[in-house]
């Protein structure tokens, strides 16, 4: 509806609306989080948590409404497999933009449990109210020590494993969707070349986090969801999305069952580590092939 305005102006208006939305919803979540902390009864705590999750779904709906108000973006979703709102899942996807999170939330809202991702500690304060709200909702927060600190204290490398174990213990309390971008950072052609990635449209995937989480949640996560996101604009930044430069987002996802061969000790069992990384590489090869076809204008 606002697409008749200049793109940068639309981007500013949409950005302000996104900011208002996150501040209001995050504030409500923080208030409810305080009530959850002080109330003594588990049934009340669980009810408050349910209300918080409904607020997140409403926040996602409003974000989608803002996108449709400000842009002419369309979502072209190609599902493969059944989704359940009360199952545990691990979602992994290619990563190109901060917009990826909004896209994934829109595609999976109310179809699977709320998406939870591992946050860098800096995000607690860089997102207006949102970082604290995520912490209250038990999003795991990772502390990344500098290389200098790691040299002085190599044991800090194990800190992420400890944090992940604690997070998985909390994930067991109710159905949860864990999301991770296995490339570790946003894709650019420069990074692809610098890191000698064999995939034309992707960086090399890091399988350790995926293997560790699904093994820790072996009795809960029986399926993972492999997602491929394709934007119709070559620079799919969040700002370019707000300015209306992105007209179409194609999302392909496949629900993959897990079996015994997918669980194991990734850091101690070299045979399992090699086989699991090979499985992830195969998924990445298929993902890259799909992106090549989409870039050429063909999905045959």
Per-residue pLDDT at 256 exceeds 90: yes
Per-residue pLDDT at 69 exceeds 60: yes
- Angle, helix 159-171 to helix 208-216, in steps of 10 degrees: 40
Identify the band that residue 264 occupies on the pLDDT scale cut at 50, 70 and 90.
Answer: very high
Identify the band that residue 142 occupies on the pLDDT scale cut at 50, 70 and 90.
Answer: confident
Question: Which strands sit side by side in the sheet containing 177-180, from one edge to the other?
Answer: 74-80, 248-257, 221-231, 88-93, 177-180, 115-117
Average pLDDT value for the chain: 90
Residues with Cβ within 8 Å of residue 271, at least 6 apart in sequence: none
What are 78-95's pLDDT values in tens digits? Answer: 999 999 999 999 999 999
CA dist., res. 204 & res. 191, Å (int)? 10
What are 35-65's pLDDT values in tens digits? Answer: 988 888 888 888 999 999 999 999 999 999 9
CA dist., res. 235 & res. 186, Å (int)? 11
pLDDT at 162: 83
Identify the band that residue 151 occupies on the pLDDT scale cut at 50, 70 and 90.
Answer: low
List the chain domain ranges.
Answer: 1-72, 74-113+174-295
Identify the band that residue 261 occupies on the pLDDT scale cut at 50, 70 and 90.
Answer: very high
Q: Is the pTM of this model over 0.95?
A: no
What are 231-251's pLDDT values in tens digits? Answer: 999 999 999 999 989 999 999
């Amino acid at each position: 509806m606002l697409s008749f305005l200049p793109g940068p102006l639309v981007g500013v208006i949409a950005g302000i609306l996104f900011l208002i939305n996150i501040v209001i919803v995050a504030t409500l979540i923080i208030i409810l989080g305080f009530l959850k902390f002080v109330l003594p009864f588990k049934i009340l705590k669980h009810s408050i948590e349910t209300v918080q999750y409904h607020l997140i779904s409403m926040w996602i709906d409003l974000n989608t409404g803002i996108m449709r108000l400000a842009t002419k973006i369309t979502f072209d979703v190609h599902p493969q497999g059944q989704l359940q709102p009360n199952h545990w899942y691990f979602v992994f996807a290619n990563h190109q933009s901060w917009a990826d999170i909004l896209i994934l939330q829109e595609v999976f809202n109310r179809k699977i449990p709320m998406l939870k991702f591992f946050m860098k500690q800096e995000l607690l304060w860089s997102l207006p109210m949102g970082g604290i709200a995520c912490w209250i909702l038990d999003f795991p927060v990772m502390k990344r020590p500098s290389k200098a600190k790691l040299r002085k204290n190599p044991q800090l490398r194990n800190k992420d494993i400890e944090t992940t174990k604690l997070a998985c213990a909390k994930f067991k309390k109710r159905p949860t969707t864990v999301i991770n971008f296995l490339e570790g950072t946003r894709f650019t052609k420069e990074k692809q070349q610098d890191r000698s990635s064999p995939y034309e449209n992707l960086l090399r995937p890091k399988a350790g986090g995926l293997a560790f989480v699904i093994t820790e949640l072996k009795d809960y996560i029986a399926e993972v969801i492999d997602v491929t996101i394709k934007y119709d604009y070559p620079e799919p930044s969040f700002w370019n999305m707000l300015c209306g430069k992105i007209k179409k987002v194609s999302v392909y996802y496949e629900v993959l069952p897990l079996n015994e061969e997918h669980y194991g000790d990734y850091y101690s069992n070299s045979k399992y580590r090699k086989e699991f990384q090979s499985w992830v590489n195969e998924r990445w090869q298929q993902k890259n092939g799909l992106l090549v076809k989409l870039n050429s204008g063909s999905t045959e």
